[in-house]
Structure 1
């Protein structure tokens, strides 16, 4: 019995020594959360969120690739910062970039739009910054205007729904003259926030205020519209209607 016990103790000791001398296995680390992802909000639709799941916002007073929120503004609206961007973001069609803030810190931008958190959002799912002072809005990842194709026309501009966009030759720069019944047949492309463009869209986007107070998107100062006769992406039945309507080209 003593021999058996001694043998068992020697085996245990040798096993402990082997474990002590063996190289330690690398610690398993949880995969890091993506820098930006998309969350479906019940009221706002798809919106961008940061790695902690909190809502990201844009500031309509910013310019493309430039932040104008500094000082106390940046305390209330902390910028989303990163030292480098991931090589690829699955599911996001927009382009990420880093811009340099006034203090030299790199800030993340989506399609050139600087991104921020809101101090009063305390957990994922909060969107209390939406519409603050009518200049802060959650970011919809689908570009307002993007490149598409119409079977008979080739490359055209489309909305985020893929439907062809049009211009009206009777409009003037930054002014829409299509109202009333005209706007029923040719619904204006409206946004509640700063419009965004797809990577392939090179011209400038802006907005104008229509007589009813809604905000219409313009491309190169031309107001943009849909045509009620188009039923699916790729349709361009509004091209040439009354010789005053044309599909918008990039």
Structure 2
């Protein structure tokens, strides 16, 4: 087993828009440090100070209730902040940088959380993904399927080897091999195939596409995937997958 790394997951919640964190998600992420971002996207003509004066108290009350839910689930490391913003995507990215979050959770309903689909690209850091998943799976019975799409039959062996490496990396983190599966698709659109495969699972894990943090999270394939599935989507940020320590974040509005 590799030495444990520090991980932190950003969980944005539109607390004034009726969005909530499903109990299944709270329980599944109890072993991972969490940064709660209570946000509300406001029209350009309304100032952030004005919105805070008008809605800040009710938003803070909702955030405090959410903090209590995580605390009751045994999550011992929860930070939080409240933001009114004109651009939620820029805010997600800035807070992810500020809070040193290596992943971002896009909330969707999750009445049942038993299996996780992990979409694997050929150019990702498998050991880093395995380490994060190993921490996430602590204290759960979640099963994991690594999924990869290759262009044609000639790439089948390469794809199978990549999936085997991913499974080995997760097993090396102490996850029982009986909880790990692999699935390979041939000659299809990666996005379409991932969305189709995700329908058989309860949460999707994807890596942020290049150019890493310089592209606002959700404005690449992850956004399409999040819109195409009803599952929660955990996006592992490209900075961590690609080792890009010099990327610059966007300013909040």
Length-normalised TM-score, structure 2: 0.25
Bigger relative contact order, structure 1 or 2 (CA pairs below 8 A, ≥6 apart): 2
> Over alpha carbons, which structure has the higher Rg?
1
Counting helix residues as a fraction of each chain, which structure ranks higher?
A: 2
Normalising by structure 1, report the TM-score: 0.25
